[in-house]
Amino acid sequence: MRWLRRLWHKSLTERRLDSELQCHLEQQIADYVASGLPPCEARRRASLEFGGLERFKEECRETHWENHVEILARDFRVALRGLARDRRFAFIAIFALALGIGASTAIFSVVDNALLEPFPYKDSRHLVTIRLHDQDQADRWRGAFLFAEIQDIRKQNHVFDGMVANLEDDIVYSAGDGNLQLGGNFVSSGTFEFFGVAPFLGRSLAAADYQPGAPPVFVLRHATWVGKFNSDPSLIGKTFMLNGVSRTLVGIAAPRFAWGGADLWMPRGPDEPKVLREGDFARHWGVVAHLKPGVTAHEASADLNVIAQGLSAVLSPRFRNSLYVFLAAGGTSAAHRLWQCC
């Protein structure tokens, strides 16, 4: 912290520097006088040898950090005076600077998420999503599936060694002072083990949570916990009234885990055709699967096309369907958001 003290006691530092340099000069003059030179000639030679005290002072100042701080402060004051003289130029400069910072931040966020911190899921390179495409109409496709379709894909495929599904649902959290709208996902058994992401607090959904008669539980998204529940760790183990069902919060998900873009995840297997608040319309599940070792996305699509022909005959007799596999880590399916970008 000596440089900081020198910064606030600059006059004292300058006096000490003058005294030290003058001492060296007088010592050199005394040496020349002792060697037999007249005092005037000794002073002249010593001054020539030193090359000027001001040059030595400047060299000494440049070795001190406080000199750089002072130069920075001086430049900053000059810049502020220049901006104050021309308000329009100042506005344009500030706007350009803000735009540049914002663009740089956005680009870094993309690079950071795509390259520096890619999906941390277990073997994420082989995670895929699936799209059902109508070959007769190029613009007719979907990335979510009915219960029966998921069952057919799961039983008949030869390319996946794991598959999980999620079903979106609007959730109303009834608190004492009002209601809070949340986005919920019912997820199939083994979802968190499939992705291999440990919870931030508490635990994930366990196999016992999917058994008949098991107490209703849920896992909360980290961003929702921070933004809407003030990061309160005491919420673990407490019950929440969600769509009229009393559910216990058992865990907080990893900070960037965001499958389905949901605020919370609840246990419900795709083997159960009935879901909460089921209406007359069809309910669709999103699917993420894991390719077997050595299987490519193209080979998986070819295998699933055989299943697609069966779906055309049974579920969609008017259409000729084909199934396509997309790498989930490539971000090709906006319907299956796996990882929060910020």
Average model confidence (pLDDT) across the chain: 76
Of 77-81, 125-129, 259-263, 310-314, the least confident: 310-314
% of the chain surpassing 70 pLDDT: 68
Give the residue from 68, 85, 102 where a domain finishes: 85
Task: Give the residue, 297 or 182, on which the prediction is more confident.
Answer: 182
Answer whether residue 102 is part of any domain.
no
**Mean pLDDT along residues 268-287:** 64
Specify whether 259 is located in the same domain as 148: yes
Specify whether 150 is located in the same domain as 260: yes
The rounded radius of gyration (Å) of the Cα atoms in the chain is 36
Specify whether 80 is located in the same domain as 134: no
Specify whether 159 is located in the same domain as 281: yes
Specify whether 179 is located in the same domain as 44: no
**Mean pLDDT along residues 63-87:** 73
Give the residue from 37, 66, 85 where a domain finishes: 85
Residue 144 pLDDT class (50, 70, 90 cuts): confident
Highest mean pLDDT among 56-70, 131-145, 155-169: 155-169
Specify whether 54 is located in the same domain as 158: no
Specify whether 69 is located in the same domain as 215: no
Answer whether residue 322 is part of any domain.
yes
Specify whether 145 is located in the same domain as 275: yes
Specify whether 231 is located in the same domain as 311: yes
Of 261-270, 295-304, 316-325, 329-338, the least confident: 329-338
Answer whether residue 211 is part of any domain.
yes
Q: Where are the beta strands (DSSP E) in the chain?
A: 127-134, 141-142, 144-145, 160-175, 178-187, 201-202, 217-220, 239-242, 245-252, 264-267, 285-291, 321-327
Answer whether residue 341 is part of any domain.
no
Task: Give the residue, 67 or 268, on which the prediction is more confident.
Answer: 268
Query: What pLDDT is recorded for position 316?
Result: 54
Query: What pLDDT is recorded for position 151?
Result: 83
Query: What pLDDT is recorded for position 177?
Result: 77
Answer whether residue 10 is part of any domain.
yes
β 264-267/178-187 pair status: parallel
240, two tokens: 């929440």
Query: What pLDDT is recorded for position 246?
Result: 93
Answer whether residue 195 is part of any domain.
yes
Question: How remote is the C-alpha of 82 from its chain's centroid?
Answer: 39
Specify whether 57 is located in the same domain as 188: no
**HEC assignment per residue over 124-169:** HHHEEEEEEEECCCCCCEECEECHHHHHHHHHHCCCEEEEEEEEEE
Answer whether residue 52 is part of any domain.
yes
Specify whether 308 is located in the same domain as 189: yes
Specify whether 272 is located in the same domain as 184: yes
Of 59-73, 156-170, 301-315, 323-337, the least confident: 323-337
Residue 38 carries which side chain, given as an amino acid letter? P
Answer whether residue 340 is part of any domain.
no
pLDDT at residue 6 greater than cutoff 60: no
**Residue 187, domain extent:** 124-330
Query: What pLDDT is recorded for position 178?
Result: 81
Could you give the number of structural domains in the chain?
A: 2
